[in-house]
Structure 1
Amino acid sequence: MDFLQGQETLTTIEWILRAIIAFFFLLTVAKLLGQRTISQLRILDFVISLVIGNIIAHPLSDENLGLKGSIISTSVLVVLYLGGIFSLLKFPFLRRLINSSPITIVQDGEILYKGLKKARISIDVLLEELREEKVEDVKKVALAIWEADGKISVFLHPKYEPITPSSLQLETEPFDLPRTIIKEGKINLKELNQIHRDEVWVASSLESLYQTEIKNVLLATLDKKGNLRVFLYR
């Protein structure tokens, strides 16, 4: 385990082993930190992600730096991070201190310039965020809030809300997720067994409906009504 320490030179194998250990160690750390760190980068999340990446990167590029110290430092930071998350959940005043409060940037179709300044975003950024929410006109927005994780929450005026079956009091069928029975030319036998079908049925269905073979299918799905949808390699 000498390659964990700082050295003047490292062999190729030692470099590889050092990188492998660092990689799996980071995977373990990411698992411990949870999905929250990856999907919603708030202040605490951003700092821990940035610092851990920095600590691990240096010994991978500098053979004079030992990996042991980086692992110890990262472990301490993980403990501090998890302790910080627990404290934020238990003590609301810490939550208010560390996490930013939501900022109203649009209200009743009017852009609030003070809100934009407080959130430190430009008109261009606001319009971009609205476009991503499929909103082309600010006047349609009843309320837009800049959240602490850097995302925008948009609420349209009721008259601009999309019409849904529930608004028309229409009955709809329960949600059904089609089963993937073929993917990249390979049959999913587990899915077939659950719907009491076999490979012979799949092959004959493809031949009769699409005049093709299993190996030519990129994706094939089957819903509960027995509708087979096939996407061929193009």
Structure 2
Amino acid sequence: MNFFHGQETLSVIEWILRSVVTFFFLLFAVKVMGSRAISQLRLLDFVMALMLGNIIAHPLSDHRIGLKGSVISTIVIIILYLFGIFLNLKWTWLRNTIETMPIPLIKEGDIIYKGLKKARISIDLLLAELRKEKIADVKKVALAMWESDGKISIFLDPQYEAITPSTYQLETELFDLPRTIIKEGKIDFQALKQINKEEGWLVNELKNHHQTELNRVLLATVDYKHNLNVFLY
């Protein structure tokens, strides 16, 4: 356990052990904090990420710094982070203090300059975000809001929205996510069992309808009508 403490020098094995321990410890830490910490960077998440990065990076680059202090500091930060999330959910005034309220950038086709200035967003960045949403004309936007995680929510004017079956009250089929039953030449027998089919049925489908064999299949999915879609290598 000498690699865990600060030393004058570390051997190659000790450096490797220190890196391995740190890697799995960080995986555990992120798992405890939840997916929010990596899916979006709000103010609290950003502060946490900066602190963890600095605390963990130093022992991996300086043999004189022990790993024990970094581990303890990380645990304390995780506890504070989870406590902060709990208080953030419980107290509205704290949430409003830590997280910025949404800022309107476009309303009924008009750009709100005060909103751009408050969010520190340039016209070029706003137009770039519109292009990402395949919107060429600002006048088509009913509302655009800058969110606290740095993303822009955009809502089109109803007259420019895409026509859907619900517009004409058309009946549609129920949504059903196709099941993956073959992946990289291997059968998922659990998925096959869920559709009440056997391996023989699958092999015959591949041979008779797709003229192929199991080891040539990269991916195969089946829908609720038992239609088989096959993708070969």
Structure 1 range deviating more: 9-18 or 155-164: 9-18
CA distance in 2, matches of 1:131, 1:221: 34
The answer to whether 1:219 aligns with 2:219 is yes
RMSD: 1.2
Q: For residues 69-80 of structure 1, what are the structure 2 equivalents within 5 Å?
A: 69-80=69-80
1:169 aligned onto 2:169: yes
Task: Give the whole-Å Cα distance in 1 for the aligned partners of 2:104 and 2:133.
Answer: 16
Counterparts of 1:13 and 1:73, CA distance in 2: 25
Q: For residues 229 and 41 of structure 2, what CA distance do their matches in structure 1 show?
A: 39
In the alignment, what sits opposite 1:9? 9
Per the TM alignment, residue 77 of structure 1 is displaced from its structure 2 partner at its CA by 1.1
With normalisation by structure 2, the TM-score equals 0.96
Q: How does 1:49-64 map to 2 (within 5 A)?
A: 49-64=49-64
**Aligned twin of 1:117:** 117
Return 5+ residue gaps in structure 2 as ranges. Answer: none
Aligned residue for 2:108? 108
Give 1:198 shift.
Answer: 2.0
| Superposed displacement of residue 90, structure 1 | 2.0
Report the equivalent of 1:136: 136
Give the TM-score, by structure 1 length.
Answer: 0.95
Q: CA deviation at 1:10?
A: 1.2
Alignment correspondent of 1:48: 48
Matched ranges for 1:139-150 at <5 A: 139-150=139-150
Matches of 1:211 and 1:165, distance apart in 2: 37
Structure 1 unpaired stretches of 5+ = none
| Secondary structure of residue in 2 paired with 1:173 | coil
Counterpart of 1:226, as a letter, is: H
**Aligned partner letter, 1:26:** L
Aligned partners of 1:141, 1:87: CA distance in 2, in Å? 36
SS at match of 2:153: strand
Distance 1:153 1:108 in 2: 14
Q: After TM superposition, give the deviation of residue 108 of structure 1 in Å.
A: 0.7
What is the letter of the counterpart of residue 13 of structure 2? I
AA at the equivalent of 1:179? R
1:174-185 → structure 2 map (5 Å cutoff)? 174-185=174-185
Whole-angstrom CA distance in 2 between matches of 1:214 and 1:110: 57
Distance in 2 separating the partners of 1:205 and 1:86: 53
Q: Which amino acid aligns with 1:128?
A: A
- Provide the residue aligned with 2:151 in structure 1: 151
User: What's the CA shift for 1:213?
Assistant: 0.9
Q: Which residue of 1 aligns with 2:30?
A: 30
1:91 Cα shift? 2.0
Query: What whole-Å deviation, never above 9, does each CA across 1:144-190 have from its counterpart, x for those lacking one?
Result: 00000111111111111111111211111111111111111111111
Q: Deviations over 1:89-128 (max 9, x none)?
A: 2222221211111110001111111111111111221122
